[in-house]
A = this chain, B = another copy of it.
Amino acid sequence: MRTKTLPILFFTFWLLTTGKSVAQNQNDSAQISRLYQEALRHPAAYTWLEYLCQKIGGRLSGSPQAAAAVEFTHQVMDTLGLDRVYRQEVMVPHWVRGRAEVGRAISARFGTTDFRVCALGNSVGTGPGGLLAPIIEVHHFEQLKSLGTAKVQGRIVFFNTPMNPTYLRTFQAYGETAQYRFNGPSEAAKLGAVGVIVRSLGSSLDPHPHTGSLGYQLNVPKIPALAISTLDAEELHQLLQKDPGLKFYMESHCEMRPDKLSYNVVGEIRGSQYPDEIIVVGGHLDSWDLGEGAHDDGAGCMQAIEVLRLFKRLNLQPKRTLRAVMYMNEENGLRGGKRYAELAEETQEKHIAALESDAGGFSPRSIGISDDARGFDPYRAWETLFAPYEIRLENGGGGADISPLRNQGTVLMGLRPDSQRYFDYHHTAIDTFDKVNWRELQLGAATMAAMIYLLSEYGTP
């Protein structure tokens, strides 16, 4: 009897479990297909992004445009029939650029040459008097240290380090090279430098300087720092080869003012079965001032709102609570991300997962997943659901704004779009709406929505 019953029992069990799983899977496939189709039929994120970029524009923390962006996204989410739209107060740094910067080589042999420059974010300014000093070129910190105070004192240090072109993923090159922008000014100041010029963190040779934050170290003199376009960095390098004795004049009018009150903006759909389990999808609402903050990160914010719109439009009632969060101040302080996590801790909110889009509105290629407790393997069960959209799931990912949630055990995820063009636009005057393709943006939003759908149905797999 055993030998006959057991196989039948097993078969029945297999049928019950596998049968259910297949049906479940088919339903998930169908829902995900609906999300993609709707996102491509009605490109709402793209339309919102046009407004955010072209009617509001660059929106540095503390600026009037940042306030307008808070109001705009609040209003947009108010039209979606969400359960709640609210703001979280957060004090943010208020750095202002002031008048256009000057970067000028003055050579006894070659006369003066003006370069395309911009102040690094958080930099002190030279003030109207400017700063004139000899300039010395270095390519890495070891070289700087080997020069020592003797050769650095009283000079402007020119960090001329190109991004490594051979990495497939441009963020890897950015990660390696951004240290010169972030730490270069203090490292140079420790040796007595009076100013810093940093080669822009751009993938291409072009005339656009890239701004971005520097970080002054404690108890080190704060010296002014400018970014120079990659093309101009090459030209300055050539000039220095021919006339190492040339002087450099830099002028910037930026300053850090007292902190200002600003906001994260949050839209919420309450979960039907597990309302206390919260899933965040977000981007950062602030941007640099030079361009329109289109790819960085208007795209991510509009995609996050699009995820909620897709749920409402398709009458998908999430089992868990979904929140679209527009984080304030990622670019020069991360105050919004930190504040959100603090408040979550204070109110004992349980965030099971957070997905950020902050790598541009380009064609999506994968979602990176950081699950400290379970690791990546369980997520492989979802891979086939993304395969029709040519999206991979991969181990490791997240985003700056959601990273403070990691302490609470939240699973962190990041949308990973194709990265080849990102560092042509990043932190420049040409990060504008026209650089975003509507299909790529909407496919990113749909990809996010698909993952949020699965998380809302199953929690983590």
A residues neighboring B (CB under 8 Å) = 36-37, 40-41, 165-166, 168, 170, 203-204, 363, 365, 388-390, 392, 418, 420-421, 424, 437-440, 443
Instruction: Enumerate 23 A-B pairs (CB-CB under 8 Å) in ascending A order.
Output: A36-B166, A36-B168, A37-B166, A40-B165, A41-B166, A165-B439, A168-B389, A168-B390, A168-B443, A170-B439, A204-B437, A204-B438, A363-B418, A365-B390, A390-B392, A418-B418, A420-B437, A420-B439, A420-B440, A420-B443, A421-B439, A421-B440, A424-B437
The 6 closest A-B pairs by CB, nearest first: A420-B439, A40-B165, A37-B166, A363-B418, A420-B440, A40-B166
A388 to B167 Cα, complex, angstroms: 11
Please tell me if the beta carbons of B390 and A165 are within 8 angstroms of each other in the complex: no
A439 to B362 Cα, complex, angstroms: 14
A170 to B363 Cα, complex, angstroms: 13
Q: Which residue of B lies closest to A205 (CB)?
A: B438
Name the B residues within 8 Å of A437 (CB-CB): 204, 420-421, 424
Q: Which residue of B lies closest to A170 (CB)?
A: B439
A58 CB, nearest partner CB in chain B, Å: 23
Please tell me if the beta carbons of B440 and A41 are within 8 angstroms of each other in the complex: no
Please tell me if the beta carbons of B439 and A388 are within 8 angstroms of each other in the complex: no
A365 to B168 Cα, complex, angstroms: 13
Q: Which residue of B lies closest to A391 (CB)?
A: B168
A204 to B40 Cα, complex, angstroms: 11
A457 CB, nearest partner CB in chain B, Å: 23
A348 CB, nearest partner CB in chain B, Å: 41
Please tell me if the beta carbons of B420 and A363 are within 8 angstroms of each other in the complex: yes
Contact pick for A388, options B36, B40, B168, CB 8 Å: B168
A158 CB, nearest partner CB in chain B, Å: 23
Name the B residues within 8 Å of A365 (CB-CB): 390
A404 to B204 Cα, complex, angstroms: 39
A162 CB, nearest partner CB in chain B, Å: 11
Name the B residues within 8 Å of A203 (CB-CB): 439
